[in-house]
Amino acid sequence: MTTTPEQALEQAALAGVHRLPVPTPFAVGKVNAYLIEDDPLTLIDSGPNYGRGLDVLSESIAAHGHSIEDIGLILLTHNHSDHIGLAEILVEHSGAEVAALGAAAERLANYDNEAEAEDEFAVDLMLRSGIPEEIALALRSVSGSFRGWGAPVQVTRPLADGDVVELAGRRLEVLARPGHSVMDTVFWDAERQFGFVGDHLLPHISSNPLISRPLDGSPGRTRSLIAYLDSMAKTRELPEGSLLFGGHGEPIDDHRSLIDTRFASTERRKEKLLRLLGEGPRSGYELAQSMWGNIAVTQAFLTLSEVIGHMDLLEAEGRVREVFDGAVVRYEAVG
Ligand SMILES: [Zn+2]
């Protein structure tokens, strides 16, 4: 590290970029929105849908001499409730445009139905992975009770990978980086070497490659970890010394070594999971239990996503195959 977080944030502030931490009720703690003082006044992500979040956000914006009514453009990094929950309320106050990956526009607009479909998908995947029904259903009701932290939002400016968002004083390149979610988007300011990365890359925790329904509506599930490694390899190519501003925590000034750390731990975890298959075929649930023991119910889908992601890697390498007995998928070492 050559730049302290304070220096990075000061460098950003000199360029009119301000981190606005917004409290959340989630274990992750605060979520970062970013205010870009340009024309239009731009906000990246919104925080979750609740009064305290809105209060803190409007106070932070006021501290920089602006108000929510002044926001002209909202950019969304991904479709998780702690990032998008307040977006439509901000639009009601400001009339701001909302720019996000066009392929995800329907998922954002139909938030409630989509969340319901996602929960059904998750229960199905958990049962097929050998997770006991009572755990799967308990997790589903937890997820349902969290739904209100998000809200539908209409995308008025659909973006595609490679597009450029032009503000009066800067250009932000749109870089699709799926993996943590189906629609992770990095907004890249090449002139200043600033990247707004959402949860694509976080400094202190590795982002969960959550398994989801494919964005294009095709049946089946995402190969989230495979997609995520591919996305990180692309982000790794951003210039050394770039400052990456994430959805949680401090700015990242050493993204290459951070990504290398993520690659190395994926590799270690993959080999460890493969060794667990030495004693015979295992379900995703059994593998997750061997790795992490009996974890909190709320973590069951996260750990399952991790296990399935690593099995996808091993399967792609021809070292593991899936065996489905009509009820539960098990993984078997090949050879
Ligand atoms: Zn997220």
Q: What does the pLDDT look like over 176-227, one tens digit per residue?
A: 999 999 999 999 999 999 999 999 999 988 899 999 999 999 999 999 999 9
Buried-exposed string 136-169: b where 16+ CB fall within 10 A, e elsewhere: beebbeebeebbebbbbbebeeebeeebebebee
Q: How far is the CA of 209 from the centre of ligand 1 (A)?
A: 10
Q: Is 324 helix (H, G, I), strand (E, B) or coil?
A: strand
Q: How far is the CA of 81 from the centre of ligand 1 (A)?
A: 8
Q: How far is the CA of 90 from the centre of ligand 1 (A)?
A: 20
Fold entry, domain 5-110+150-263:
Metallo-beta-lactamase; Chain A (3.60.15)
Do the domains spanning 5-110+150-263 and 117-145+270-333 agree at the CATH topology level?
no
Strand order in the sheet with 329-333: 282-283, 329-333, 320-324
Q: Is 72 helix (H, G, I), strand (E, B) or coil?
A: strand
CB of 221 closer than 8 Å to CB of 213: yes
Buried-exposed string 54-79: b where 16+ CB fall within 10 A, e elsewhere: bebbbebbeeeebebebbebbbbbbb
The token duo for 291 is: 């790795």
Q: How far is the CA of 324 from the centre of ligand 1 (A)?
A: 31
| Entry field: residues in the chain | 335
Q: How far is the CA of 50 from the centre of ligand 1 (A)?
A: 17
pLDDT of residue 298: 80
pLDDT of residue 5: 94
Q: Report pLDDT digits (tens) over 6-27.
A: 999 999 999 999 999 999 988 8
pLDDT of residue 196: 98
pLDDT of residue 272: 97
Residue that is written with structure tokens 């089946």 in the block: 220
Count Cβ atoms within 10 A of the Cβ of residue 128 and give its class: 0-12 exposed, 13-18 middle, 19 or more buried. middle
pLDDT of residue 274: 98
* Region of residue 247 (phi > 0: left; psi between -120 and 50: alpha; otherwise: beta): alpha
pLDDT of residue 25: 86
Q: Class for domain 117-145+270-333, per CATH?
A: mainly alpha
Q: How far is the CA of 31 from the centre of ligand 1 (A)?
A: 9
pTM of the model: 0.96
Q: Is 140 helix (H, G, I), strand (E, B) or coil?
A: helix
Angle made by CA atoms 196, 198, 200, in degrees to the nearest 5: 105
Kindly give the parts of the chain with pLDDT less than 50: none
Pairing of strands 243-246, 282-283: unpaired
Continuous segment of H or E residues that includes residue 107: helix 105-109
pLDDT of residue 286: 96
Q: How far is the CA of 102 from the centre of ligand 1 (A)?
A: 18
Q: How far is the CA of 305 from the centre of ligand 1 (A)?
A: 14
pLDDT of residue 226: 98
- Rounded-to-integer distance, Cα 49 and Cα 53, Å: 7
The domain segmentation of the chain, as residue ranges, is 5-110+150-263, 117-145+270-333
